[in-house]
Amino acid sequence: MLDKSPRANAVNVPNDLAAHWMPFTANRAFKKAPRMLAGAKGMHYITTDGRNILDAAAGMWCTNAGHGREQISEAIARQAAALDYAPPFQFGIPQAFELATRVADLAPAGLDHVFFCNSGSEAVDTALKIALAYHQVAGQGSRTRLIGRERGYHGVGFGGTSVGGIVNNRRLFGTLLAGVDHLSHTYDREKQAFSKGEPEYGAHLAEELERLVNLHGANTIAAVIVEPMAGSTGVIPAPKGYLTRLREITQKHGILLIFDEVITGFGRLGFAFAAERYGVLPDMITFAKGVTNGAAPMGGVVVRDTIHDAFMKGPEHVIELAHGYTYSAHPLACAAGLATLEIYREEKLFERARALEPKFIDAVMSLRNEPNVLDIRTVGLTAGIDLAPRADQVGKRGFDGLNSAFFDHDLMLRIAGDTLALTPPLIVSEDQIGEIVEKVAKVIRAVA
């Protein structure tokens, strides 16, 4: 579908880009050919030269309700005028308690307490610290080991990087935290290629946890953390039955189970949280991104009653958990979160994503015969398209695809090496799904 809306006026761009060291970016390549953004509305970004770029990435898995939502920006402005900042240690604001209640209401029953922070990385490190502290107060201080999973992404804090399993995210930083081990990843292209939704093969891979229990001893393991869908590594849905079996093994051995739902939370898989989609009750859920529609930094952890209540003992004037951040439950973030959750409810965006999923899957799967496509994985409104790497240039085809999409086809997508990831806002229309797939086909051919 050709976008014939008028272009916005061009925006001045600084001549000197040297001072800004950009995160997770090939800085030298970017500064030779900058992909610069100046505005956004609905399903589109607007570049500094006035082009409309179709957003097939929801920014960075964040803007589930689309861009430029006035309900959110107006809520932030009102809050800034009334109360710009309040210290979160020993003081509170009504909006923080209201938002915590709203988030807890969306979570599975039993997950009723919310600890706020500012990002997915902070949410993960918070959950890991809560797990370690919980075993201390529960009289099981020997439980200090943390278990992640290969190809997992849990942010960039020391804890999250340690339990994460993406090699390039770890290689520069030495040994990180001690006492960490990893489950095998769940992807087997030979047996799972072109699966629609959760693959049939792979539930047995959860049994790897029993091997780690036998190796280290259950009484040394504090928690296991996994993503219900591994997003940043290229969209790897959990196999059918895998999460259920992981829950059974962790319960058997008294190990806490943490679902990292920074990406999957708030509708990406058609439910408020993926835990609901899979009918599995973890001990903690981390969230961020979609909670404010990307309009303000916020993250958090939803915690089971039994964990929270274990801390609520001793003298009442004593701090129960020595943890938090200067900007925990920031007033502007709380305002953005409340407005965002209201949009999700009013527009039934989680239900909408669930209804669109079959159409989205079929549309993306139509790309399977394009050149160099090795596999396509889909779940919810998310897809990963693996392209064959170029000889001795792993990741170059994907990087060229990112540039081709942006400069030649007015499309934003995400890449993970040579994987193209599609994660559009939940407001995407069926016509726009068709437009995204049509443009992706052109990108794939351009980098063939």
Cα–Cα nearest to 97, from 350, 338, 270: 338
380: left (phi over 0), alpha (psi -120 to 50) or beta: left
pLDDT along the chain (448 residues), means of 10: 56 87 98 97 97 98 98 98 98 98 98 98 98 98 98 97 96 94 98 97 98 98 98 97 98 98 98 98 98 98 98 97 98 98 98 98 98 98 98 96 98 98 98 98 98
CB atoms within 10 A of CB 198: 24
Burial class (CB in 10 A: 0-12, 13-18, 19+), 176: middle
* pLDDT value at residue 5: 54
CB atoms within 10 A of CB 229: 24
* pLDDT value at residue 1: 45
Distance CA 112, CA 266 (A): 16
Note whether 351 and 360 are within 8 A (CB).
no
Note whether 308 and 113 are within 8 A (CB).
yes
Distance CA 162, CA 128 (A): 11
* pLDDT value at residue 24: 97
Residue partners of 435: CB distance under 8 A and separation at least 6? 1, 54
What distances in angstroms separate CA 400 from CA 57, 94, 373, 417, 447, one per listed residue? 17, 48, 15, 11, 7
CB atoms within 10 A of CB 24: 8
Helical H segments across 217-272, by residue range: 242-253
Distance CA 311, CA 134 (A): 7
Note whether 284 and 258 are within 8 A (CB).
yes
Record the pTM. 0.96
Q: Which structure tokens are listed for 226? A: 């996994």
CB atoms within 10 A of CB 197: 15
CB atoms within 10 A of CB 13: 12
Cα–Cα nearest to 235, from 337, 360, 352: 360
* pLDDT value at residue 184: 97
* pLDDT value at residue 176: 94
Distance CA 36, CA 175 (A): 36
